[in-house]
Amino acid sequence: MTVEIKSLSGIEAAPYFDDLARLRIEVFRAFPYLYDGSLDYERKYLATYADTKGAVFVLALDGAHVVGMSTGMPMAAETDEVKAPFLEAGYDPDRIFYFGESVLLPGYRGHGVGVRFFEEREAHAKRLGFN
């Protein structure tokens, strides 16, 4: 199995948005209690990361086919709902790089792609000055 890992900042991921939206819907469908996604909702969600300075998309590609993705952004840019537990625990959102979700098609799991998602997001956060 050959999977290419590609890290993209913000708007660089825009050409992949429809594929990423479909991927998220497909993977999350296995967990129907989470939500029932739509392309419109997913595009808006992905645009949040694209519009955020310092955000990253880590893609897993099998040829031209997107088989996985992972996201991250500076916590200070996250919603109040996401920041609230960190603030309540005394953490400074300006010092945190938030790792969003990771989604990967089942056939690609167990081959180290998830580990690469973490490594790529950590490297990105360090380049931005987070420790």
Confidence (pLDDT) at 3 = 95
Highest mean pLDDT among 20-34, 39-53, 60-74: 60-74
Q: Is the pLDDT of residue 53 over 90?
A: yes
Q: Against a cut of 0.75, is the pTM above it?
A: yes
> How many residues in total does the chain contain?
131
Q: Is the pLDDT of residue 119 over 70?
A: yes
Phi-psi region of 98 (alpha: psi -120 to 50; beta: other; left: phi over 0): beta
Report d(CA 24, CA 18) in Å as an integer.
10
Report d(CA 40, CA 127) in Å as an integer.
32
Q: How many CB atoms lie under 10 A from the CB of residue 42?
A: 19
Confidence (pLDDT) at 39 = 87
The end-to-end CA distance of the chain, in Å, is: 33
Report d(CA 125, CA 108) in Å as an integer.
25
Confidence (pLDDT) at 131 = 80
β strands within 10-130, DSSP E: 56-62, 65-74, 97-104
Confidence (pLDDT) at 52 = 93
